[in-house]
Amino acid sequence: MRPNRLTRYAESRSGVVASTASFAGNVASAIGACGRVFSTKDPVETERLYAQSLGVDRDRAHEDVFYVGQRLRLLSLAIDDEPDELVCGAARVLVAFVAAGRPPDQRLDEVEAAFAPLRAATDDGQTGQVIAELLPPYLDAWRRALG
């Protein structure tokens, strides 16, 4: 990621303030990378831009873009009202999460727990009724995670 004011400030300091500035600067860079990465419709181009922006290899870029894409596609199915705000918030969190190397994150634990049966149902080709029953808990988990 490109250095910004916060990351440069953090490099010149130490302690809690430096750690906070570094974290905020890295999240801001990840969000900027998200805007550049997800503005393209070509999946290969998206992966290339993501790899270039974060300095990761092609395999990691593919895994990360796939990871984010799966979760956002299912989230967009679950939303009836105001999809932009929730999907954009989820995209920011997911991109920062994968850019950080997917560290343990309690905020996303509930989201991942609700995602697992939903993904299994879609992968197994379950009926629309089964999937429709699994969408509200996934949506609610995202609302709590972003709230």
The answer to whether the CB of 43 falls within 8 A of the CB of 65 is: yes
pLDDT band for position 14 (cuts 50, 70, 90): confident
The answer to whether the CB of 95 falls within 8 A of the CB of 31 is: yes
Q: What is the pLDDT of residue 1?
A: 47
Q: Which residues contact 37 (CB under 8 A, 6 or more apart)?
A: 46, 49, 50, 53, 65, 95
Q: What is the pLDDT of residue 102?
A: 87
- pLDDT tens-digit readout, 53-72: 888 899 998 999 889 888 98
Place of tokens 């290969």: 44
pLDDT band for position 5 (cuts 50, 70, 90): low
- pLDDT tens-digit readout, 86-104: 888 888 888 888 888 888 8
Q: Which residues contact 3 (CB under 8 A, 6 or more apart)?
A: 25, 29
